[in-house]
Amino acid sequence: MNQYLLSVHEVDGVVEGAPTTPEEMQAFMSEVVALEEQMDAAGALVFGGALHGPDTATVVRSGLDRVTTDGPFVEGKEHVAGFYVINAADLDEALDWAARTSAATGHPVEVRPFRATGRLQG
């Protein structure tokens, strides 16, 4: 089985159509949860989750001295809001999950094949 990273990209700032009211947020969450249940039932889901915002990130660089700075690694208009690691037979199967993830979250999803898989290999 091959593994793919599906990363969900969110645009910084206020975006039209994004959930604002508690009801909208509830509907959004239940769609995402339903998708995760489908991924799990299909045996595709390895691991995944939503991330706190990029302002909560800390960047560590190891050189002569260990340097720790705040903020996201890359300043940009987009940040990774969450991700899934999935098993899929081939790229088309991974793209299919990505399309469903994009539909559930309303965000673009980048699909990347793992070059080598670590201990999470199922």
Partner 1 sequence: MSSVGADELTAAFRRAHGRAVATLVRVFGDVALAEDAVQDAFVRAMETWPRDGVPANPAGWIVATARNRAVDVVRRETRGRQLTEEQARDPLRQDRVEPVDEGEAEGVVDDDRLRLVFTCCHPSLRPEHQVALTLRLIAGLTPGEIARAFLVSEATMAKRLTRARTTIRAARIPYRVPTEAELPGRLQAALTVIYLIYNAGADDPARAGLRAEAVRLARELRALMPDEPEVDGLLALVLLNDARLRGRSDADGEVVLLADQDRTRWDPTLIREGQRRVLAALRHPHPGSFALQAAIQAVHCAAPSHGETDWATIVRLYDRLLSRTPTPVVAMNRAIALAETAGPQAALATLQALTPDLDGYHLFHAAQAGMLERLGEDEAASLAYDRAIALAPAAADNALLRRRRAALRREPSAPADAPPG
Output the CA torsion sign for 33, 18, 56, 54: positive
User: Closest separation between CB of residue 7 and partner 1, Å?
Assistant: 15
User: Per CB under 8 A, which of residues 80..109 are in contact with partner 1?
Assistant: 88-92, 95
> Would you give the binding string for partner 1 spanning residues 43-82, x where CB under 8 A is met?
----------------------------------------
How many residues can be counted in the chain? 122
Give the span between the Cα atoms of 50 and 47, in whole angstroms: 11
Q: List residues near partner 1 by CB under 8 A.
A: 2, 88-92, 95, 111, 113, 115
